[in-house]
Amino acid sequence: MPPPTLPPLPLRPAAPAPNIGSDMATVELRGVCKSYGAVHVVRGVDLAIADGEFLVLVGPSGCGKSTVLRMIAGLEEVTEGELRIGDRDVRGVVPRDRDIAMVFQSYALYPHMTVRENLAFGLRVRKFPKEDIATRVQEVAAVLELDLLLDRLPKELSGGQRQRVAMGRAMVRRPKAFLFDEPLSNLDAALRSQMRVEIKRLHRELGATMVYVTHDQVEAMTLADRIALLHQGTLQQVGRPDELYDRPANTFVAGFIGSPAMNLLDGTLGGDRDTPVVCAADAVIPVLADGLPADLAAGARVRLGVRPHDLALADAGAASPAVGFRGTVEVVEPLGWEVHLHVRGEFGTLTARLERSVLPAPFGAGQPVRLVVDPSKVHLFDGESGRRLEAGSPGRV
């Protein structure tokens, strides 16, 4: 049998790969569940990832992100549901035949092999011709700016360089899709943001489908075409970063996306139909009448959501002194251009993010303040289910 040949540049081969029926690198999960005995860790996940899309799977530790990724890779069996890559049902297909490459948090480089040998390894075991391997390694090294490091051992590289070698190892195979499991979490903050830019550039250049797992909402917001937010094995919301930020589907999404986190307070709907307010202890917060579900009645228990940067200091002598959150500054966190205020009142605690220049001088802990929010910036959620309340949605489940 003649040795397999490698497709030429561009990095994404135009012709179908030999071991898969279609060139489309879509990934589709339908009702996917994963259980270990009686422990259900992934519960009915429906997710359709488009060809060339950068999808970020985000959620807190233990929510099932890696399990979903490992099922796509073929490293874990699907307990229930359907999983397709391209036009093929891949349940029962071994990882090496799925035409995808996975990059882990631990780079898992071979310590005794040079960068060149590490990059070539996957092609060597698949018995590609020597010259093709050398060409491919050169191409990938150029894209990742590893050309000058090819003869070094992993221990002679920085963390970021090792990470690039790990990505290069996945790239030389020109897979249909890349799966990343927290690839940057071993790096320091500066390198992480640099690698974020790098990965974004790579995605644009390769045009490959990428599924990227992280618990870091900043990584999710900055990298994703779409974010899928997982909590306790259940998808909470899937959408563009701005959709999750602007219209979080429930209080979990609201609190997870955005930093500092959205303030969430218990309240009650009051006022009348045309001038509704939410009351949280002694705080009275006007909300938009046309933003409420038609059947939401006065007295309904709600969760009030306000992003820290949507809060503003009210003038002491301003009109409607009854409106807003009245409290005392407990902590001031200066951050250069902005400051974060932690304010305590009868309503509980709030974080406000303000431009430093708006603070009166002197200003510090112990200062009484009144914080106001534009009614159009208030998010409302059902007091029990936590589901987003808005015009058109039912007031009660």
Ligand X SMILES: Nc1ncnc2c1ncn2[C@@H]1O[C@H](COP(=O)(O)OP(=O)(O)OP(=O)(O)O)[C@@H](O)[C@H]1O
Contact set with ligand X (CB under 6 A): 36, 39, 41, 59, 61-67, 215
- Shortest CB 30 distance to ligand X, Å: 19
Report the partner that residue 305 touches, choosing among ligand X, Mg ion, none (CB closer than 5 to 8 A by kind).
none
- Verify binding: residue 251, Mg ion, rule CB under 5 A: no
162 binds, among Mg ion, ligand X, none (CB under 5 to 8 A by kind): none
Minimal distance in Å, beta carbon 183 to ligand X?
Answer: 12
Q: Which does 110 bind (CB under 5 to 8 A by kind): ligand X, Mg ion, none?
A: none
Establish if 66 lies at the interface with Mg ion (CB under 5 A): yes
Q: Which does 250 bind (CB under 5 to 8 A by kind): ligand X, Mg ion, none?
A: none
Binding to Mg ion (CB under 5 A) within 211-240 occurs at none
- What residue number has its CB nearest to ligand X? 66
User: Tokens 């489309």 identify what position?
Assistant: 24
Closer residue to Mg ion in complex, CB, 107/347: 107
- CA atoms of 333 and 314, how far apart (whole Å): 19
Comparing CB distances to ligand X, the nearer of 49 and 304 is: 49
Distances (CA, A) of 203 to 34, 53, 172, 198, 386: 29, 9, 14, 9, 35
* 67 contact, one of Mg ion, ligand X, none, CB 5-8 Å limit per kind: ligand X
Count of residues of this chain found to bind Mg ion when the rule CB under 5 A is applied: 1
Residue with tokens 């320091």: 188
Q: How far is the CB of 256 from Mg ion (least distance, A)?
A: 16
CA torsion angle for 154, 211, 21, 33 (degrees, to 10)?
120
Rank residues 120 and 166 by Cβ distance to ligand X and give the closer one.
166
Taking CB within 5 to 8 Å according to partner kind, which of Mg ion, ligand X, none is near residue 39? Answer: ligand X
Q: Residue 70 and residue 98: Cα distance in Å, rounded?
A: 12
Q: Minimum distance from CB of 234 to ligand X (Å)?
A: 12
**348 Cβ contact list (under 8 Å, min separation 6):** 265, 266, 280, 281
62 binds, among Mg ion, ligand X, none (CB under 5 to 8 A by kind): ligand X
Q: Which does 12 bind (CB under 5 to 8 A by kind): Mg ion, ligand X, none?
A: none
Instruction: Choose between 36 and 110: whose C-beta lies nearer to ligand X.
Output: 36
C-beta of 213: minimal distance to ligand X in Å?
6
Contacts 24+ apart (CB under 8 A), 1-4: 3/127, 3/128, 3/129, 4/126, 4/127, 4/128
Q: How far apart are CA 25 and CA 120, in angstroms?
A: 24
How many CB atoms are located within 10 Å of the residue 219 CB? 23
Which residue's CB is nearer to Mg ion, number 66 or number 251? 66
Q: How many helices (H) and strands (E) does the chain have?
A: 8, 20
User: Cβ closer to ligand X: 63 or 292?
Assistant: 63
Strand partners for 86: none
Q: How far is CA 350 from CA 307, 326, 329, in A?
A: 10, 10, 10
Give the nearest residue (CB) to Mg ion. 66
Which H or E run includes 101? Answer: strand 100-103
Least separation in angstroms between residue 95's CB and ligand X is 17
Query: Is 351 a binder of Mg ion (CB under 5 A)?
Result: no
Longest alpha-carbon distance in the chain = 87
Residue with the two structure tokens 């009868």: 346
Q: What is the contact surface with Mg ion in residues (CB under 5 A)?
A: 66
